[in-house]
Homo-oligomer: A and B are copies of this chain.
């Protein structure tokens, strides 16, 4: 990359460090930035540092927020006795977008993955167990339907069993609007196993 001047090289290298951004995309983005008005570039740079400075984790559910406790945990309209465990804040937001879930969340910040060396101690499981010592009526495990997500779900359900709190798992099956023809065999079998009477 000795073809660009120093400042462009540095920008390209910084952008390449972001996930899903390869060398070509980083170059395209860098040149786009150079063509942007100065104020817009400063806004972008400022939004990066501001977000990093202001955002912390909610002390109850560990979602990313800019306050000590997040709006969901402090809301009067949420059922604090219903907890949904999710892998990250993006998954929390995905469920919030449905607008139908009235309980609260617990963000694990990851899933158990022996392959990546992530054990039960590396995610917010201890904190979840502490919350379950309070007045909880149900724990819904909404980790991803991946190997890691399933492992985490199994692990949590075993861990929670002795407390007597009901633990549920979100359903696996054919996505709404999904065409059976294009869906993998494992999902099809899961959908069959999880069938409900009409």
Chain A residues proximal to chain B, CB less than 8 Å: 3-8, 10-11, 13-15, 17-21, 25, 27-34, 36, 38, 40-55, 64-67, 88-90, 92-93, 96-97
List residues of chain B with CB within 8 A of the CB of A7: 47, 50-51, 54-55, 66
Q: For residue A148, give the distance in angstroms from its CB to the closest CB of chain B.
A: 17
- Complex CA distance for A43 and B7, rounded to whole angstroms: 12
Contact B47 A41 (CB under 8 A): no
Known contacts A27-B90, A32-B19; A52 and B41 CB within 8 A of each other: yes
- Complex CA distance for A11 and B55, rounded to whole angstroms: 11
Q: Nearest residue in B to A50 (C-beta to C-beta)?
A: B7
Contact A93 B3 (CB under 8 A): yes
Q: Nearest residue in B to A94 (C-beta to C-beta)?
A: B3
Q: For residue A90, give the distance in angstroms from its CB to the closest CB of chain B.
A: 6
Contact B55 A48 (CB under 8 A): no
Q: For residue A196, give the distance in angstroms from its CB to the closest CB of chain B.
A: 30
Known contacts A51-B34, A55-B34, A93-B4; A14 and B43 CB within 8 A of each other: yes
List residues of chain B with CB within 8 A of the CB of A41: 48-49, 52
List residues of chain B with CB within 8 A of the CB of A18: 29, 32-33
- Complex CA distance for A27 and B96, rounded to whole angstroms: 15
- Interface CB pairs A-B, < 8 A, 6: A5-B67, A7-B47, A7-B50, A20-B28, A31-B64, A44-B48
- Complex CA distance for A113 and B88, rounded to whole angstroms: 45
Query: Of residues A13, A30, A45, A52, which shows the largest number of chain B Cβ atoms within 10 Å of its Cβ?
Result: A52
- Complex CA distance for A8 and B55, rounded to whole angstroms: 8
Q: For residue A18, give the distance in angstroms from its CB to the closest CB of chain B.
A: 6
Contact A45 B49 (CB under 8 A): yes
Contact A5 B52 (CB under 8 A): no
List residues of chain B with CB within 8 A of the CB of A8: 51, 55, 64
